[in-house]
Amino acid sequence: MTFSERLYERLQPIWRRNHAHPFVQGMGDGTLDLEKFRFYMIQDYVYLKDYAKLFALGAVKSDDLAVMGKFAALLDSTLNEEMSLHRAYAARFGITVEELEQAKPSPVTLAYTHYMLHTAQNGSLAELTAALLPCMWSYSEIGKELSRLPGVSEHSYYGDWIKMYSSEEFGALAQWCIGLLDRLAEGKPESELIRLEEIFLNTTRYEYLFWEMAYRMESWPDE
């Protein structure tokens, strides 16, 4: 069994909870309140800015040219393609570029991104990869699952979001990251695998908390 298969199997109950979250299900059946999605889009923009830095750190932490090149390409596509798609998508919901640029992280966004950045800065390349994988893997799985619902991609608000994350391209990206983690985990002692599993578990939990934060539109107590 590969390390990613072990993670997938052990974390099934948490993955199921992520998929079953009312925010995710609401996108699938089109009933999600637009205000909640607006809140999500803004926080996700803040999240992506920090997430991109993980790719830069991935290139720094790697010695393998092919891996360095892939992280560099991901940094470029996140900053110069995905974030502009995000701005265009946000505009459909009446969110301006200024609103996106000036947004501050909510408590959960801050905790999630700082946990990943802390792990990436202080840990090994394997630890960095374990931290960033649930983001890619769970979105690709959720995208694929939602895209199987009848008529979902025609949904005027959430259809394109689902199409994007269920695309072959995102699936291939998740697969690349899974393969990288499996290669890095190979031959590692059980104590290190347990550490990687813990990091993977924590960012999987943060994915849940991110849906929950968006669903409840949770901000700081004084806002």
User: Quick one: 103 or 136, whose CB is closer to ligand VIB?
Assistant: 136
Instruction: Indicate the residue among 44 and 127 with the shorter CB distance to ligand VIB.
Output: 44
Q: Does 106 bind ligand VIB (CB under 6 A)?
A: no
- Which tokens belong to 48? 């992506």
Choose which of 3, 37, 139, 215 interacts with ligand VIB (CB under 6 A): 139
Amino acid letter, 165 = Y
Minimal distance in Å, beta carbon 121 to ligand VIB? 18
Q: Which residues of 82-102 are buried (b: 16+ CB within 10 A; e: fewer)?
A: ebeebbebbeeeebeeeebee
Please count the CA atoms within 13 angstroms of the CA of 78 that sit on its side-chain side. 22
- Under the binding rule (CB under 6 A), the answer on residue 23 touching ligand VIB is no
Phi, psi of 151 (to 5 degrees): 75, 5
Nearest CA to 133 out of 189, 60, 92, 184 is that of 184
Part of the chain binding ligand VIB (CB under 6 A), chosen from 56-64, 97-105, 134-142, 188-196: 134-142
CB 54 within 8 A of CB 132: yes
In terms of CB distance, is 91 or 194 closer to ligand VIB?
A: 91
The contact pattern for ligand VIB, residues 143-182, with x = CB under 6 A and - = no contact, is ---------------------------x--x---------
Supply φ then ψ for residue 72, to 5 degrees.
-65, -40
Question: Annotated catalytic residue: which of 35, 82, 207, 223?
Answer: 207
Element (H, E) at 168: helix 168-185
> Interface with ligand VIB by CB under 6 A: which residues?
44, 47-48, 51, 78, 82, 135-136, 139, 170, 173, 207, 210
List, by residue number, the catalytic residues: 135, 207
